[in-house]
Amino acid sequence: MHIREIAETDLPGLFDVRTATRENNLSRVQLASMGITEESVAAMLHSSHRGWLCEIDGRTVGFAMGNRENGEMWVIAVRPEYEDKGIGSSLLA
């Protein structure tokens, strides 16, 4: 398990994880209807948000992102097949 800061090039993999979640599952179309696109998230990373991802064998399996200005957690997502392995807790730490 490797945890590192999210880079803009990671966004396609983050959206793959986010749309695969068991809890609060949303499609890319649903996310886009809420204004959440790769472009909008890239803008957030450059301004107000920061995040970390977890890779296993080079595959993004989870990530967490929050507002660095007010400390609010915006999203945490882990692929269902990687749940209960401590990834979410590690990302939060």
The string of pLDDT tens digits covering residues 10-20 is 999 999 999 99
Write out the E strands in the chain.
2-5, 49-56, 59-67, 73-78
Q: Tokens 């599952």: give the residue.
A: 25
Helices (H), 10-59: 11-18, 28-33, 38-47
Give the pLDDT confidence of 24-82 residue by residue, as tens digits: 899 999 999 999 999 999 999 999 999 999 999 999 999 999 999 898 999 999 999 99
pLDDT interval class at 93 (50, 70, 90): confident
Those residues whose C-beta lies under 8 Å from the C-beta of residue 73, and which sit 6 or more positions away, are 64, 65, 66, 92
The answer to whether 78 and 17 have CB atoms below 8 angstroms apart is yes
